[in-house]
A and B are shown apart, each in its own frame.
Chain A
Amino acid sequence: MSETVTGPTETPAAGTTASGATIRLENLTKSYPGNPAPAVDNVTMDIKAGETVILVGPSGCGKSTTLKMINRLIEPTSGRIRINDEDVTDMDPVKLRRKIGYAIQSSGLFPHMTVAENIALVPKMTGWSKSGVKDRVEEMLDLVGLDPREFHGRYPRQLSGGQQQRVGVARALAADPPVLLMDEPFGAVDPITRDHLQDELIRLQHELHKTIVFVTHDFDEAIKLGDRIAVLRERSHIAQFDTPEAILTNPTDDFVSGFVGAGAALKRLNLTRVRDVGIADFPTVTVEDPLQLIFDKLRDGSHNELLMLDRRNRPYKWLRRGDLMRAKGSLARAGQLVHDTVTRDATLHDALEAVLTDSGGRVAVTGRRGEFIGVVDMQTLMNSVHELLEADRLTAMEHQHDLEHLRGHQTEQELEGGGSGL
């Protein structure tokens, strides 16, 4: 920092990004005038640097209010907010907000400004150089998957809902803030687009390692995106704050399990990838192998079934012994075409779906270029799900144990020291 002479307004070089900051909410409370019951009541929460935390809970439980207190769009009635251990509760809110990206449901793009102008707003305000701002706009559009040349000069109303959301996220990230607050950013788009946007966010976060606080009332979204999920009940009371796995397998009470909804075990399948379970070998032949070899392989009795690969090693046909009997010397019409394959990054949920729709009860796993890697079958899936659930249960129990231990410790301390630590 000190060697560069560009001054305090220097533009970070492309490629370097500020990664996340820690956020600590201490006894945060918000009462609205005219309402004796606070909307947010005494929330304490620790968020690690680079972590994605999801606030989820029923409508009106105070998620937005909690989120907006972090960038002081809503001033807390009492309590403190610390970002990277710095108390920002009394800091100039305008300065504070420039270090915190903010993206909202309706995208919040200014309709009278072009996409580029919208994205450029914050960098300009924080005094970036003109060329720095220009490069940054291109970089941000690239980052959220929009072609800069095409979208640069468009107005928000000339974009689809999903594209608007992307620009909204690009604007929030433009000045490279360590913290990103998102209030139901994908709430207003159709399910397929939402799915895409969620995938994009996961990819982005993989690159950027921001600290993200994300509000939603969709628990599936929470599971998909969150490193940790805070399930809130009314007045923002934290019912459970833990990893998605722990919440799915070990909800603390009926409120949480009600929120998790039916099919927690099924939802668990979304958290594990095919690469994490055993991918089994499968006997293969290729379309170029001589017919005789294929016959021999099937006839020698060790396999009932073969997978035939095409010239580029991609799964092509399942061949059973019976098929060959009927084929009478030609393979053109024998066997069953491979309908569905999964990649190693597919979730177990996708894999199960594919296995269930396949009459043979297995699915081929392929690599990046579609080449055959192995198969996953029903039995493997069942076993790994059982193992996962069991493991989750164990960690959850350990966790519970730790918590109780900690609580016991705290009570002890309080009894001894009378809270003199403050």
Chain B
Amino acid sequence: MNFWEYVSTRHQQLLTDAFQHVSAVFQCMVLATVLGVVIAVLSYRSSWGGSLAITSTAMILTIPSLAAIGLLIPLVGLGVPPTVIILTLYGLLPVVRNAIVGLRGVDPSLVDAAKGIGMSRTARLCKVELPLAWPPILTGIRVSTQMLMGIAAIAAYASGPGLGNEIFRGLASLGSANAINQVLAGTLGIVVLALLFDAAYVLLGRLTIPRGIRV
């Protein structure tokens, strides 16, 4: 059976895996974005707070993902929980870093003006600082998503959802007839999905970045 025959006979399973892969990444990305922005908002105004946030989220990334997920299984069990935890944590760094850089990069005279015309702390943050920091934050989200697409494959190790199942099955049965096809299908699937995601982000950027600051 060649690769295309394999894909056409197994397309039902592949589509399900692909959908779950995307869904897992998307949901964890939303979580990572919310968490990341909150962490950035809480820390960007103090220089050591910001460094602490960036360093600690960067540290998470240095832990090999396979090891991390293995360590989580005894704590939270198999399946969805370890997947969500791993993806969210790994997705944090680019969001936190870009949000801090973005928030710090807002022209101080604009912040001054916002204060000067009587905007409250919250209004300043929501109406001025975050919208102006949004382009770099979106870039962070984009980078994060690309990274999570790959890391999500590891989730299959903990019986999580996604295209990683194809890859792991293939790797486990190397030498058998369809082993290579399985690994290939899983990997290519992830690459294609990542490209689609990226296209979606370009669109999202056009929709959410205000016209006045679009480059």
Contacts and interface: CB of A to CB of B under 8 A. Distances in A.
Interface of A: 71, 73, 94-98, 100-102, 104-106, 108-114, 121-122, 125-126, 155-157, 171-172, 181
28 contacts: A71-B116, A73-B112, A73-B115, A94-B118, A94-B119, A94-B120, A95-B118, A96-B118, A100-B118, A101-B117, A104-B109, A104-B116, A105-B109, A106-B109, A108-B109, A108-B113, A111-B110, A111-B212, A112-B131, A112-B132, A112-B213, A113-B210, A113-B212, A121-B117, A121-B127, A122-B117, A155-B211, A155-B212
Given A94-B118, A155-B211, 8 more contacts: A97-B115, A97-B117, A98-B118, A104-B109, A110-B114, A111-B213, A113-B210, A122-B118
Interface in B100-125: 107, 109-110, 112-120, 123
Contacts of B213: 111-112
Contacts of A106: 107, 109
Interface in B190-215: 210-213
Nearest to A168: B113
A172 B110 CA distance: 14
Contacts of B114: 110
B120 A172 contact: no
Contacts of A98: 117-118
Contact of B113 (A100, A102, A155): A102
Contacts of A155: 211-212
A215 to B, nearest CB: 13
A122 to B, nearest CB: 5
A296 to B, nearest CB: 69
B128 interface: yes
Contacts of B117: 97-98, 101-102, 121-122, 171-172
Size class of B's contact patch?
Answer: 20 to 34
Nearest to B115: A73
A131 B115 CA distance: 25
Contacts of B116: 71, 73, 97, 102, 104, 108, 181
A104 B112 contact: yes
A126 B117 CA distance: 11
Contacts of A111: 110, 132, 212-213
Contacts of B211: 155
Contacts of A114: 212
Contacts of B109: 104-106, 108
A98 B119 CA distance: 8
A89 to B, nearest CB: 17
Nearest to B120: A94
A102 B116 CA distance: 6
A113 B132 CA distance: 10
A111 B114 CA distance: 12
Contacts of A172: 117
B54 to A, nearest CB: 25
Contact of A110 (B110, B115, B118, B120): B110
Nearest to B212: A155
Contacts of B127: 110, 121
B136 to A, nearest CB: 14
Contacts of A181: 116
Interface string B125-164: 0011001100000000000000000000000000000000
Nearest to A101: B117
> Lowest 10 CB-CB distances: which A-B pairs, in order?
A108-B113, A155-B212, A102-B116, A97-B118, A98-B118, A112-B210, A112-B212, A112-B213, A111-B212, A112-B131
A107 B8 CA distance: 62
A114 B212 CA distance: 7
B110 A121 contact: no
A83 B140 CA distance: 47
A112 B129 CA distance: 10
Nearest to B134: A112
A24 B112 CA distance: 23
Contacts of A121: 117, 119, 127
Nearest to A112: B210
